[in-house]
Amino acid sequence: MKMKFTLKEFKDLGISAIVIGFVFAWIMRDASIFGRTNFLFIFTIMLIAVGTAFIFHELSHKAIAQRFGCWAEYKIWNMGLIIAFVLAIVGGFVFAAPGAVYIRAPIKWGQVSGITKRQNGLISAAGPIANLVLAFIFQLLTFGNGLIEVVGWIGFRINVFIALFNLLPFPPLDGSKVIEWDKKLWGLLILTTALLYIRM
């Protein structure tokens, strides 16, 4: 089943990725990456690492939701982007809540509309799982040399961080919906992610 997109959704995803890429780059602006401290260079690296982590996380939610016949669309949260930008510039720390995939279950005549706990759990688990898959792919790049190795390490760390944060069992994070449906799956995901995080 093909994912359905709107032009506005493409725009919202693009703007969100650019802003959070900038936020991470600003936090790391004084770091030396591959012997370079040029902000534009660091921003490009962050856009690759953070942008892919964020976009694949959200698109995984969308893909599973649409597989269950739901309407699913990513929508930007303008205030979240403004807060992220200001906190990075003024406070020097990352707050990344640029938007979310909004989901609505199909309405069937004579039935109560809604998604089951299982469906909601699977939709929610899809995002962190996508980040774990990306973390593995980026880790493969660490066996390369030079810039490829650096991009690999940054991408690996960011994806593990995003997966771990989203698996925390507090609403509205993904972890709260996964644990409500299947505590064993949540335990497996959080343990795997925590072990990878410790390895960082």
Tell me the catalytic residues.
Answer: 58
**Cα 192 off chain centre by:** 17
CA distance 198 to 200: 5
CA distance 123 to 161: 19
What the block records as the tokens of 187 is 């335990």
Cα–Cα–Cα angle for 122, 137, 67, rounded to 5 degrees:
25
Helix (H) or strand (E) holding 108: none
CA distance 81 to 132: 24
Length of the chain: 200
CA distance 60 to 128: 9
